[in-house]
Amino acid sequence: MSLIRFLMITLLAVGWTQHALARVYTIGVENIDYYPIYKAEYGQYKGFARDLLDRFGQEKGYEFRYEALPVIRLTKYFVDGKVDLKFPDNALWSKDEKGKFDVRYSTPVLAYTDGVMVLPARLHQGLDNFKHLGVVRGFTPWNYLGRVKEGKMDLKESSNLESMCNQALNSRVDGAYFNVKVARYFLKNVIKQEDGLVFDEQLPHDTNTYHLSSISHPEIVDAFNQFLEENKDWVQALKVRYELE
């Protein structure tokens, strides 16, 4: 065997070995339908978040797998170290569970508003006329829990976004509480009733931002921040493509 051939085989072997030993990082995600931001469907993670995180991994040399979990279990997996990163996350969420850990949060990825979608005829009728609020099971409308405890309002749970929107469209609830961008996308693109429900900005709502987070790998979060800064135009175009701007 010639020296050149030997060296080529050796380099190929080293390359394959390094590939085989490459660390795959697990990103814990929510197994709820929040499309176009994200959803886990038939074992596949899809949407804006998947495209963003895949592009980040490819550019910075990370390999990711996505583990979709119920929200409460996802937080437990995160603090127990069973997932390496979490998306979405926010420093205000699950503060009791995460409080004793040094969590690194990325710069904001996407702004969100959780609020009430109502029939156009019900717009701006005020909180006192609001008695029945639709929510997706597992989703907590924090701004309304006080009124629920006082008996001034009750929550009507649905198994998914479609069922909840149908309840609001058919006046079985006074409004539907959800991520406003997700609800608008669903109304326009899925059930083709773009103006069937509208966001009532005069009712209590929550506005904040989504972040990538990690306890065990702050260096990946730092690299993600750099990626967002270096790819501002591409990220903005991705938001537009998914109708999130």
| Domain CATH code at residue 139 | 3.40.190.10
pTM equals 0.84
Indicate whether 163 and 233 sit together in one domain.
no
- How much is the pLDDT for 22? 63
Indicate whether 99 and 142 sit together in one domain.
no
- How much is the pLDDT for 32? 86
User: What one-character-per-residue DSSP string does the chain give?
Assistant: --HHHHHHHHHHHHHHHHHHHPPEEEEEEE-S-BTTTBEEETTEEESHHHHHHHHHHHHHT-EEEEEEE-HHHHHHHHHTTSSSEEEEE-TTTTHHHHTTS--EEPSP-EEEEEEEEE-GGGTT--GGG--EEEEETT---GGGHHHHHTTS-EEEEESSHHHHHHHHHTTSSSEEEEEHHHHHHIIIIISS-TTTSEE-TTS--EEEEEEEEESS-HHHHHHHHHHHHHTHHHHHHHHHHTT--
Indicate whether 173 and 134 sit together in one domain.
yes
pLDDT tens, the chain, 245 aa long:
554 554 444 444 444 434 434 689 999 999 988 999 999 988 899 999 999 999 999 999 999 999 999 888 999 999 999 999 999 999 999 888 998 999 999 999 999 999 999 999 999 999 998 999 999 887 889 899 999 999 999 999 998 899 999 999 999 999 999 999 999 999 999 999 999 999 999 999 999 999 999 999 999 999 999 999 999 999 999 999 999 98
- How much is the pLDDT for 4? 52
Indicate whether 73 and 164 sit together in one domain.
no
Domain count for the chain? 2
